[in-house]
Chain A
């Protein structure tokens, strides 16, 4: 046990003996982890933004003129019983004409014989209920009703938003991987430099019969500490930093506390591995 305490003290002392190098290594790791955190937050926030966009969508179901009013009412009733549906508003042909006049400012149908605009049902869902998958399913089910000619729900806008979200997700995967790789390489190099600087000491300790664990421990501890501190500091900085930024219409989403803890632990394990890889050649 006393040996462990000695090694701990010695390792911390070694870090303290070269404060500028240690600070530089810690800062560069912190920046890399910070970048990773930002990418992660961007991904979560864009997903949330997309979900909000989808959940606020109304579906408009256009009904063919040939459908009798009784069937039309039955369709309205059936749709209103779908899970998550808050209400189904009926837009008659006259309502549609009034809406068109409101939008255009003039009655474009004036002079035409009859009203060519279709009847429709506007389906409103409960808040935060709808997602893209459910939207697809409902579209399919609604199309099966008799007399349904068209379903509209800003599909193109959603597709664009979905594409943007997919691009961000891909960026997160590749960029996140690249950033983590850079963090490991950075740490390995930093530990290797540290080990090189202590090569003479390591040789002497080895000649005295020091075990591999005894020689490796300071570097592994250094890797662990740097990674843990850098990853933790990154999240703390972001937690307080985001209070100073506000994006209109975008809610900044953080990973959950267990996810952050898992990330910091994973970073620490990466630090241990980096410490081992960085020093093993010198030993």
Chain B
């Protein structure tokens, strides 16, 4: 994918969250391939709603959402499926499947796409994320930090060009936070587009990242 390809574009969006409360009004936002955007907003300002709009889980009242050059809409299931397969998710609405093993959770995006993964590649990724020792454990046994790592590993193994990362550092120790930030920097350097949603309480410093704030229903 060319670095100047616009992979995400939300135009003139007016949308409400699942509770029916209006959160965005004529909001515009875009992200290019390989770019990192940090969207800062207090709780309830619409960070999760933004993720849901991108994934087609919520539909805007007005405006259009385009991901990888395709309009997101519920009517075309195949379109939506293809878009979602290219998006990795960490935190927020994304989670691991609790009663599946860590290894199963990590390879799920590949199984869904009908691709196979070698045992070596899986081991390599799990070791890279310090999860190899826990590969057979059920996901519900993991700590929050380990879950974040497993979700990042899941995105890396599937080589997804866009990652939506919702509050990645919340309730994590400073050491683990530093580790996660390092991984995010590496992913950004490797050409993944990152959309990081945070309340701003724990600063996330990623070089060349654009910082946006949600204010008055707009992303500025």
Binding site for B on A (CB under 8 A): 2-3, 6, 17, 200-201, 203-212, 214
Contact of B112 among A2, A200, A212, A214 (CB under 8 A): A214
Give residues of chain B (167-198) contacting chain A, Cβ–Cβ below 8 Å.
none
Once the chains are docked, how many angstroms separate the CA of A193 from the CA of B81? Answer: 26
Q: Mark each residue of chain B from 81 to 95: 1 if its CB lies under 8 Å from any CB of chain A, else 0.
A: 111111101000111
CB-defined contacts of A204 to chain B, threshold 8 Å? 94-97
B94-A2 in contact (CB<8A): no
Q: Is B57 an interface residue (CB 8 A)?
A: yes
**Chain B residues whose C-beta falls within 8 Å of the C-beta of A211 in the assembled complex:** 77-78, 81, 112
Contact between chains at B98 and A200 (CB < 8 Å): yes
- With the chains together, A205 CA to B96 CA distance in Å? 9
Contact of B111 among A6, A17, A200 (CB under 8 A): A6
Contacts of B108 in A (CB 8 A): 205, 208
Q: Cα distance A203–B87 when bound, in Å?
A: 15
In Å, the complex CA distance between A209 and B110 comes to 10
How many chain B residues touch A (CB < 8 A): the figure is: 28
Whether A17 and B93, one on each chain, are in contact in the complex, defined by CB atoms closer than 8 angstroms, is no
- Using A205-B112, A207-B89 as known contacts, say yes or no to A17 and B99 having CB atoms under 8 A apart: yes
A-B contact pairs, 15 of them (CB 8 A): A2-B116, A200-B97, A201-B98, A201-B99, A201-B100, A204-B94, A204-B97, A205-B97, A206-B84, A207-B57, A207-B84, A207-B93, A209-B82, A209-B83, A209-B85
B55 on interface, CB distance cutoff 8 Å: yes
Contact A208:B112 (CB < 8 A) given known A17-B99, A200-B98, A201-B97:
yes
Q: What is the CB-to-nearest-CB distance from B119 to chain A, in angstroms, rounded to a whole number? A: 14
Output the least CB separation between A34 and chain B (Å): 33
Closest Cβ–Cβ distance, residue B211 to chain A (whole Å): 26
A-contacting residues, B107-149, CB 8 Å: 108-109, 111-114, 116
- A212 CB to closest chain B CB (Å) equals 6
A209-B57 in contact (CB<8A) = no
Which residue among B77, B81, B89 has the maximum number of chain A CB atoms within 10 Å of its CB?
B81
Known contacts: A2-B116, A204-B96, A204-B97. The answer to whether A209 contacts B109 by CB under 8 A is: yes
Query: Which residues of chain B are near A209, meaning CB under 8 Å?
Result: 80-87, 109, 112-113
Counting from the closest, the 6 A-B pairs by CB-CB distance are: A209-B85, A209-B84, A201-B97, A209-B81, A210-B112, A3-B114
Q: A2-B114, A2-B116 are in contact. List 12 more A-B contacts (CB 8 A).
A: A2-B111, A200-B98, A201-B100, A205-B97, A208-B84, A208-B112, A209-B80, A209-B86, A209-B87, A209-B109, A210-B81, A211-B77
In the bound assembly, the distance between CA atoms of A205 and B98 in angstroms comes to 12
Give the Cβ gap from B25 to chain A, nearest Cβ, in Å.
Answer: 26
